[in-house]
Amino acid sequence: MMYRYLGRTGVQVSEYMLGTMSYGSDGNSDERECVEIVHRALDRGINFIDTADTYSHGEAESIVGKAISGRRDKVVLATKFRLSAGDGHNDQGGSRYWIMKQVENSLRRLKTDHIDLYQMHRPDLQTDLEETLGALSDLVTQGKVRYLGGSTAPAWYLAETQAVSRLQKLSRFINETSPYSIFQRAAERETLPAVQHYRMGFTAWSPLNGGWLTGKYSSKGGAPAGSRADRVQGQWGKHYPILQSRFDMERPGNRQKLELLSALEPIARQAGLSLMHMAQAFPLAHAAVTAVILGPRTIEQFVSMEAGFETKLDHSTLDQIDALIPPGALIEEADRGYVSPWLAPEIRRHAGTGFG
């Protein structure tokens, strides 16, 4: 396992980060297997773990807390807040009210006295950034949080967080987590340049594009049993409706993916790689990327991913990928991860209903 610095913090983290979105009732309800995945990852040299308060309604954090018990000091632990985590009107967002309440819930579930990287899970445009950053800075001062970050934020928002932190002398975001893969290269246009400019870390989520880049989907048949495309048809998909669009085979972007897969597979074979290993290594070729988040749901999936941990893509392979899918390209809009609220009709067409 290789390690990289997390922005300019001086903290070294593994190039692969263990993602836990599939832990619990929304993915793998076998707690023992989830714990074993964490232990295997730690034994393999992964020291960076990603979770969130909303993954399986908090179950994922609880599982992670049990899994790292006795090894907490060897883990750089990241979790998130912001998305709806309850039935109340204020059980979400970037307000001081919610941040101070929810951080305690996450600490309790994770069985720890501090979170190494506390990330805002999408921007909250209804809450003043000074309030959000002020509350988060207080958590840093209290020792409950070490570092701050964002998740799936547009570049202008990252710039605004840096400006507010500087002007108000508040703790700043040191990391951004956004989708980045062969099929989702939109981050290369503005997000990655912003990350490099502000010397932030960057953790890439969905490097396998939700399983598309494993080669498991084809135009000849339906979704394999247990795959994300299969699971979004059930209760899991109701919790995350955007995921249903990511696997709707009637969407033009998804049909284009099926065509591109037949062209990507020969590139991988020529490089002596599986399609999956080529895909998981792709984000690491970009100088701005700190780590790639891999979210195996089963032990078998972890073992398959682990076999590619040492993979590095050469210039020839990267050039062939660029020729097929140019830098900055986004094949399917549903993969963007962030839907700009300014595109909604009520914002575009009616005065007095905007933000700010």
Catalytic residue numbers, as ranges = 55
Instruction: List, in order, residues 6 or more apart from 144 with CB less than 8 Å away.
Output: 103, 107, 113, 114, 115
| C-alpha count within 13 angstroms, C-beta hemisphere, residue 47 | 18
Per DSSP, the chain holds a count of helices (H) and strands (E) of 14, 10
Is 147 in contact with 176 (CB distance < 8 Å)?
no
Short-list 52, 122, 126, 57, CA closest to 87:
57
Short-list 189, 193, 131, 194, CA closest to 157:
194
Instruction: List, in order, residues 6 or more apart from 272 with CB less than 8 Å away.
Output: none
CA distance 26 to 11: 32
Short-list 141, 154, 198, 156, CA closest to 173:
198
